[in-house]
Structure 1
Amino acid sequence: MNKKTTYVVLMFICTVGFWLFNNFYTPDTYTDKNVSVTDVEVEDLYYLQPLSTTGDIVRHNYYTLSYNEKYEQAEWVAYSLKREDLTKDKRKRPYFIEDPKVETKSADWRNYKRSGYDRGHLCPAGDRKFSVYAHNETFYTSNITPQKNDFNAGIWGDLEKMVRIWAKKDKEVYVVTGGVLKGDMDVIGDEDVAVPNYFYKIIAKGKKDNLKVIAFLLPHKESRKPLTSFLVSVDKIEKETGINFFEALPNEIEDKLEKGINRSGWVF
């Protein structure tokens, strides 16, 4: 075999190998294989889980998400946050990896490289320090979205801290959060990961017959305004996202919770 033929064969093998790797490689997992979703307590407020517009719901041990392949990120991430979850354990920051439970493959972390955007967590790593597995699960790329640093470390971070304060005060809250995936959005990386122009967060607390809900819609930019400036109704977020958030509740309760802004019971 001459050098030219050898080169062609090697190139063919490399091309086939890359194609197989790209299409069939399943990344490692950060999820505890010895624990099932039903073994953990994140299902306490399961009836508050939103509907999925894509049908691609992924349940991890410590949060649930609906993945939107078109925009290469979750349209929502939902999780329960309890007082006892908020520990001060120090956790080593792992690598971001693709989510092995997303059938279409979640976006590669390299899309964010040199993009100018943070890899913004939707379920914050800071809310999941109580175990190595819970913390590391937040580093699946299905749980991140492109965020400007002054937004991520600014007003968005302030809202995350506020949610922790409420969880400590009220023992447990249920959080649904994500970017508004519509309109004219910038994209980053080879996979065209969308950069949302707005982000939302809905927080619920209390029992099924006495729920309290508060919702926020924030423009994706730095802001020094108070968090109360971004209060909206759940109906407003449903209109913007096309997502039905409390479909499992009786209609009269759902309508009451979604139609207005009620700050009662939420201390800022």
Structure 2
Amino acid sequence: MNSKTKYTIIAVVVLIAIQFVRWYVEEGLETKVITGDSTVVASNQIYLPTSTTGNIIYHNNYSLSYHEKFEQAEWVAYELKRDHLSNKKFKRPLFYQDESIKTKSAHWANFKNSGYDKGHLCPAGDRKFTKQAHDETFLTSNISPQEHQFNSGIWNRLEQKVRYWAKKYNGVFVITGGVLTDNLNTIGNEKVAVPKYFYKVLLDNNNGKIKMLAFLVPHQNSNKPLYEFVVSVDRVEQLTGIDFFPQIEDEVEEKLESLDSYKGWSFR
């Protein structure tokens, strides 16, 4: 076998493998593709929302829709499974710009002396199963300006509750972001918008029966119980212009998204 024939066979095999992986993901099945020390979780793309900008970025461990006007993601989405939860401790890296975005994401320096935290949308604590997954959450496309007391207070409580549900139900699909509207305050030279509300939308489909839950939280700390911030998915869609679960059969989607009940979700 000459070298030309050998390389042709290798190329054909690679193309077949790529097509197989694409087919597997499009069929809505969960698969993991190992690339170096990175684990690409294909289920992070199963329930992606629509994008108002068309600027969707697929990272190894979460996906996002970037909104250049507001210099941040309008949503970040990922699946949090029970086996993703870990107590590993990694050194926090520096925040760095997301070069997957043509215009790059806003520089971290916009936050300097702004009085706001660099608030993770996909928390580093949800991606501690590898160092690469943890460090990927420090892209500036994954942060939004958050008041410190909010970030370390009620928002942190909600993130911890999501981990509790991920463990209890063996996984939830998470979509989160700030409500981006005109006339928001901004920080830095790039005018990074400061949302007045943050939302988190959850979906559990692990026992064959889909259930949803949505939170709309004012950008201020609160000692109120989390269930007081539960709203319908429809309410968040009205505020954001995003269709959160277009893949779900319309009749099922409309019924579930209209509910503002937290029945079926343990708040203990």
TM over 0.5: yes
- 1:208: Cα distance to partner? 9.0
Would you say the 8 A contact 1:50–1:245 is kept in 2?
A: yes
State which structure, 1 or 2, has the greater radius of gyration over its C-alpha atoms: 1
Q: 1:210: how far off?
A: 1.6
Q: List structure 1 runs of 4+ shifted beyond 3 angstroms.
A: 32-37
User: Compared with structure 1, are the counterparts of its residues 57 and 245 closer, same or farther at alpha carbon in structure 2 (3 Å cutoff)?
Assistant: same
Deviation at 1:263, TM superposition (A): 1.6
Counterpart for residue 16 of structure 2? none
1:111 aligns with 2:81: no
Query: Is contact 2:76–2:121 with CA below 8 Å preserved after alignment?
Result: yes
In structure 2, C-alpha distance between the alignment counterparts of 1:193 and 1:136, rounded to whole Å: 22
Equivalent residue, structure 2, for 1:76:
75
Does 1:173 find its partner at 2:206? no
2-structure distance, mates of 1:183, 1:52: 17
TM-score of the two chains, using structure 2 as the length reference: 0.84
The answer to whether the 8 A contact 2:232-2:259 is kept is yes
Aligned residue pair count:
235
**1:247 CA drift (Å):** 1.1
Report sequence identity in percent: 54
Point out where structure 1 has 5 or more consecutive residues left out of the alignment. Answer: 1-31
The two structures, once aligned, show a CA RMSD in angstroms of: 1.8
> How far is the alpha carbon of 1:207 from its aligned partner?
4.6
Equivalent in the alignment of 2:28:
none
Could you tell me whether the CA contact under 8 Å between 1:65 and 1:77 is conserved in 2? yes
Indicate whether 1:259 and 2:258 are aligned.
yes
What pairs with 1:1-268 in structure 2 (closer than 5 Å)?
34=35, 40-41=40-41, 43-44=42-43, 46-207=45-206, 210-268=209-267
CA contact (8 A) 1:177 1:200 kept: yes
How far apart in 1 are the matches of 2:156 and 2:212? 20
The DSSP-based 3-state class of the residue aligned with 1:185 is: coil
Q: Which letter does structure 1 place at the counterpart of 2:168?
A: K
Report the Cα distance in structure 2 between the residues aligned to 1:179 and 1:109, rounded to whole angstroms.
Answer: 18
Shift of 1:45: 6.0
One-letter amino acid matched to 1:40: V
SS of the aligned residue for 2:35 comes to: coil
Q: What's the offset of the Cα at 1:250?
A: 1.1
Name structure 2 gaps, 5 residues minimum.
Answer: 1-32
